[in-house]
Amino acid sequence: MALLPEEDIIIEEVEQIEEEQTLSKLGKVFLFDFKKNKYVIKDGKLVECTERQALEQWIHWILLTYKDKYNVYKGTDFYCNIEDLAGKKRNAFILSELQREVEEAVIKHRYVDHIENFVTTQEKSILNVSFDVVTKDNEVINISA
């Protein structure tokens, strides 16, 4: 019988505590309709999001936010600089840079582990991206923006 606990047990406990802290609840988030460009109201009250809807909404917001464009986000890490790439002719470099920018922005969220299946389409000046977000609890969320 050892006087001190074995190292493996301590490491597992620390990893479990870190994971629990990482995946704590988001708090109240209200549903936003991106097509109508306004918050969803039902019976005179804002509609609250589920955790999944809140994550999807956060991803849409960060993809629409250019660094230092809005005063509320100046000096924060909440941005995705894809605006410069949208009008460019799509070549391997631009597509690679676009994917890098999107991935760097999306993995800032504490629930997101990584993205996969990244696809882009461009119609005139409108750039559309779609990809799968894999959360830290291995849930896959399809994003089209």
Task: Name which of 11-25, 42-56, 91-105 the model is least confident about.
Answer: 11-25
Q: Which domains does the chain have, with CATH numbers?
A: 26-144 (3.10.450.40)
User: pTM of the prediction?
Assistant: 0.76
Q: How far apart are CA 109 and CA 102, in angstroms?
A: 12
Question: How would residue 2 be classed by pLDDT, with cut points 50, 70 and 90?
Answer: low
What is the share, in percent, of the chain residues with pLDDT greater than 90? 50
Q: Which two tokens stand for residue 108?
A: 């800032």
The predicted-structure confidence for 76-133, as pLDDT tens digits, reads as follows 888 888 877 766 677 888 889 999 999 999 999 999 999 999 998 877 777 788 999 9
Burial class (CB in 10 A: 0-12, 13-18, 19+), 40: middle
Mean pLDDT of the chain: 84
